[in-house]
Amino acid sequence: MQQFITDRKALAQRIRVARECRELTQTSLAKYLGVARQTYLDIETGKTEPKAGILLAIAQILRADYLFLLTGTAKPDQYTTDAAANKLHSLMGGKVEIDDIRMIVSFINDHKVPYLIVTQ
């Protein structure tokens, strides 16, 4: 049971750090989530574990990786820049030049907020 509590506390700490990086207050994040501030506070302090839907919403609002919040480990990028550009080019029916798409994908990759790895 102690391991479970440690994991919950680590999850809570990663959520808190991600919220602070986005410069959101507990009250504003609770409002975005549609929950009472105390409910959110219980999640952020590790008193309660968030349901999957709430954790997913937290990740989306904070623009954080869901799996990182949950496990503390960032998942590898699904596509390299070229592969992502080729996929987008295909999805857009070739209407945008591939070099323009590569430039956009490269810009997005360069400006990602780095994942924060919270250590105890």
Q: Per residue in 94-112, pLDDT tens?
A: 787 888 877 877 777 666 6
Q: Is the residue at 117 inside a domain?
A: no
| Inter-helix orientation angle 2-21/37-44, to 10° | 120
Rounded to a whole number, what is the distance in angstroms from the first to the last CA of the chain? 18
90 and 45 share a domain?
Answer: no
Stretch 110-115: mean pLDDT, rounded?
57
57 and 104 share a domain?
Answer: no
Domain of 17?
2-71
Stretch 18-30: mean pLDDT, rounded?
93
48 and 98 share a domain?
Answer: no
63 and 98 share a domain?
Answer: no
**pLDDT higher for 100 or 32?**
32
Stretch 87-94: mean pLDDT, rounded?
75
Q: Is the residue at 9 inside a domain?
A: yes
Q: Is the residue at 58 inside a domain?
A: yes
Number of domains in the chain: 2
Mean pLDDT score across all residues of the chain:
79
Chain segment 36-65, per-residue pLDDT in tens: 999 999 999 999 989 888 998 998 898 887
